[in-house]
Amino acid sequence: MRRHLIAFLLCATFVVAPAPTDPVRAQETATLIADRLEIAGDSTLIADGAVEVFHQGRRLTASKVIYDQTTDRLRIEGPIRLTDEAGTTVIVAAQADLAADLTEGLMQSARIVLQEQLQVAAAELRRSGGRYMQLDNAVASSCRICNGSSTPLWEIRARRILHDTVERQIYFDHAQMRVGGVPVFYIPRLRMPDPSLDRSTGFLQPSLVARTDLGTGLTLPYFVTLGPSRDLTFSPTLTTTGAFTLGLRYRQAFDNGSLSIEGAVSRDDLQPGQMRGYVMADGTFMLSSGHRLAFHAEGVSDDAYLADYDISDTDRLTNTLLIDKVQRESFFEGRVINFQSLREGELGSATPYLVTDVTYLRRFTLGALGGEGMLRLSGHTHTRQSSVTTDSVDDSDDVAEGADLGRLSLGADWRRDWIAPGGLVLAALGEVRLDAYHVQDDATYGGSSTRSFGAGAVELRWPWVRAGEQATQVIEPIAQIVWSSANGGLIPNEDSRLVEFDEGNLFSLNRFPGSDAVETGARLALGLSWTRIAPSGWSFGVTGGRVLREDPVASFGEASGLSGSTSDWMLGATVDAPNGLQLAGRLIASSDLDVTRGEVHAAYSNNRMSISAGYINSIADAVEARVDDVSDIVLAGSYQFTPQWNGTASGRYDFEGDSYSRVDLGLAYRNECVSFNLSISRRLTSSTNLQPSTTVDLSFGLIGFGTGKSGAARMCRE
């Protein structure tokens, strides 16, 4: 009660006597709270015991404060703690002489703590202009100092350190970097961003890169801010073999989108005398009409550059311009794509290099007839550079090397469900489509042709539900009878050669993924699904089935599992556990249990580790242009050894070729003041343009200078 009364009297003293005539000045008057108050003379107030001073969001605590109204200054005895308006900058000191608004003055035995990361300490700190804090003969570090040791892991000692709180920059005069107390280097002047600054012009974290084919190199990025919405990064790299690379990245944010451009130019001994490089650009913009405009562009000087410099594993460049709009009842998309092949042995002139696609979808209902349908209008063209009218490339696609194609399609599909007594679900569904094609530079398919396609089906589902305290189970047998027919001219199949038989298309009217091929004839699809969902978080799902046909469809390859009059059995299963385990698998096998295709994906994660694995096995298939069997496994994982240490590993192994294609290992360390990253990559594939290579990447950074959040602090050992 006494403390609150004194606080009230002090507030009255500061605010009322003498009251400033300027109302703004009155609002800036400080508020002081203390246990004891003594008034000495007419102009001196002495506050003693748990003193607190508040002014415009700033807060000061001390053991004793003496306020001289004549000079409008505070003499303060510590321990002192001064916190700024945002609470991100804290100053502690033994004693101080400050202006009443706490923005100017001198503090003894002072230490600044910025963003709970960087600490700057000196015997004396001078505040001026409400903006600058100057410390002479100071030391800066973000490392924790344990009892019994006065040496941080790293520190910067300087004759003078100046912190500009407005620009959020820290300036060092005659700076000396020390690691473990040992001087490492000296620099006359140094400027670093404080921890609260996200973007600032200056050098970024350097990295050391070693490659078997390019030697060991140092990369020292330099970041340039070009205002609040633009920036530019230069990344020069010089290696021991004399190779030089200059990387560039430009970013800009707009009110309605963003733009990013990156690239590099290089000179090396891999291709002596040649200037090598690449460029990639991405942009996304929202137009006033509600459409989204996006593009992706990439180019490279030669086929091996991206792999040589470990930029990307892509073997085909893709340039895309896209515009789309999504609404509740409709969807529109238009895109233009340019392809450039980097694959060894692939004839680029025989690959479509310019592709255009336009798609419009509109959802509708049929009134009294009920149900819901979708209207589809689409157009497609692709062009090849070659003018050869025959298929001389050994890819088994029966398409001329120079074939150019244009297609216009109009179609609609519809579905309606009825629930019958006993829980039976009866559905009627159908699809109609009209395609118009024009093909050039193809001796087999050249000219114009049209095709009409129609399909109708009746589907019966009978879900059985069993609900209990432990879990809810659903068993659903499904049968679907389909009849479809197509009439028209001869059409090349270019977009529907790779067919996946899975749970998603077991009951589809057309299992070909594209538009060039359609599934015709009478067929019966049979399936059974079982799901189990438990309140504990466990869930299981199994779906199996097959397709019976009146006549086989020749367009399906052996590897699809859909060839012949009777398809292979399809079995898919999923497991989702509350402990972070996820499993998904699919098996395509004949009645004799000969596996046509199989794949398994597994993932597990918890607070310390994550691991994922994927395996695929598929037989060779000429229709899919795959002459050899496929049997690959991909593994990836990470483990948090301690709060500071983290390791990662990934790799891909080809069982058919008995070889690894790539192996990656990583080790990272991050504590309260340093970050360290080491990665090792080994590429074992080879070709005319590429040789197996190993890349080692090492980077080290100091936390506390605009480098983001710190990691877990080190534990001190007593």
Which residue's structure tokens are 């896209």? Answer: 322
Whether 12 shows a pLDDT value over 60: the answer reads no
Q: Which residue type is seen at 402?
A: G
Total residues belonging to the chain:
718
Per-residue pLDDT at 7: 42
* pLDDT classification of 709: cutoffs 50, 70, 90: low
Which residue's structure tokens are 């990836």? Answer: 636
CB atoms within 10 A of CB 365: 12
Strands 31-33 and 659-670: unpaired
Q: Are 507 and 459 in contact (CB under 8 A)?
A: yes
Specify the higher pLDDT residue, 198 or 545.
Answer: 545
Whether 18 shows a pLDDT value over 80: the answer reads no
**pLDDT tens track for 513-557:** 999 999 999 999 999 999 999 999 999 999 999 999 998 887 888
Mean pLDDT check: name the lowest of 45-49, 67-71, 290-294, 703-707: 703-707
Q: Cα torsion for 329, 453, 496, 428, to the nearest 10°?
A: 60
Whether 105 shows a pLDDT value over 60: the answer reads yes
SS3 207: strand
Closest CA to 519 of 485, 561, 480: 485
Please give the full DSSP string across 603-617, using - where no structure is assigned.
EEE-SSEEEEEEEEE
Percent of the chain at pLDDT > 70 equals 92
Please give the full DSSP string across 394-414, using - where no structure is assigned.
SSS----TT-EEEEEEEEEEE
Contacts of the segment 40-45: beta carbons below 8 A, 24+ positions apart: 42/69, 43/68, 43/69, 43/70, 44/68, 44/69, 45/10, 45/13, 45/69
Mean pLDDT check: name the lowest of 16-20, 81-85, 264-268, 443-447: 16-20
Alpha-carbon gap, residue 442 to 388, rounded angstroms:
8
Alpha-carbon gap, residue 457 to 519, rounded angstroms:
13
Q: Are 258 and 241 in contact (CB under 8 A)?
A: no
Structure tokens at 131: 């903006």
Q: Are 573 and 585 in contact (CB under 8 A)?
A: yes
Alpha-carbon gap, residue 37 to 41, rounded angstroms:
13
Whether 639 shows a pLDDT value over 50: the answer reads yes
Per-residue pLDDT at 342: 87
Per-residue pLDDT at 58: 84
**pLDDT tens track for 218-251:** 999 999 999 999 999 999 999 999 999 999 999 9
Enumerate residues 6+ apart whose C-beta is below 8 A from 577: 537, 538
Q: Which residue type is seen at 124?
A: E
Enumerate the domain spans of the chain.
1-103
Sign of the dihedral defined by the CA atoms of residues 270, 271, 275, 281, in that order = negative
CB atoms within 10 A of CB 578: 10
* pLDDT classification of 686: cutoffs 50, 70, 90: low
| Strand positions, DSSP E, 330-446 | 330-341, 354-365, 372-383, 404-419, 425-440
Closest CA to 572 of 545, 544, 599: 544
Q: Is 109 left (phi over 0), alpha (psi -120 to 50) or beta?
A: left
Structure tokens at 523: 């067929």
Specify the higher pLDDT residue, 388 or 604.
Answer: 604
**pLDDT tens track for 28-40:** 567 888 999 888 8
Whether 15 shows a pLDDT value over 80: the answer reads no
Alpha-carbon gap, residue 550 to 567, rounded angstroms:
12
Contacts of the segment 14-17: beta carbons below 8 A, 24+ positions apart: none
Per-residue pLDDT at 5: 35
SS3 3: helix
| Strand positions, DSSP E, 165-275 | 169-179, 182-193, 202-203, 207-211, 215-219, 222-225, 230-239, 244-254, 257-267
Specify the higher pLDDT residue, 456 or 709.
Answer: 456
Mean pLDDT check: name the lowest of 77-86, 512-521, 662-671: 77-86
Whether 563 shows a pLDDT value over 80: the answer reads yes
Q: Are 506 and 525 in contact (CB under 8 A)?
A: yes
Burial letters 249-270, b for 16+ CB under 10 A, else e = bbbbeeeeeebebbbbebbbeb
Per-residue pLDDT at 414: 97
**pLDDT tens track for 427-442:** 999 999 999 999 998 8
Cα-based angle 683, 687, 693 (whole degrees, multiple of 5): 25
Per-residue pLDDT at 13: 40
Please give the full DSSP string across 472-491, using - where no structure is assigned.
EEEEEEEEEEEEEEEEES--
Q: Which residue type is seen at 330?
A: S
Whether 3 shows a pLDDT value over 70: the answer reads no
Q: Give Rg (Cα) of the chain.
A: 36
Any bridge partners for residue 59, and if so which?
54, 83
Q: How far are the Cα atoms of 63, 347, 348, 687 from residue 344, in angstroms, in the given order?
A: 77, 9, 10, 7
| Strand positions, DSSP E, 69-131 | 73-83, 89-99, 105-114, 118-128
CB atoms within 10 A of CB 174: 13
**pLDDT tens track for 397-435:** 678 888 999 999 999 999 999 999 889 999 999 999 999
Whether 27 shows a pLDDT value over 50: the answer reads no
User: What is the chain's mean pLDDT, rounded?
Assistant: 89
**pLDDT tens track for 315-363:** 899 999 999 999 999 999 999 999 998 887 677 678 889 999 999 999 9
Whether 623 shows a pLDDT value over 70: the answer reads yes
Whether 502 shows a pLDDT value over 90: the answer reads yes
Q: Are 253 and 229 in contact (CB under 8 A)?
A: yes
Per-residue pLDDT at 10: 43
Alpha-carbon gap, residue 65 to 50, rounded angstroms:
10
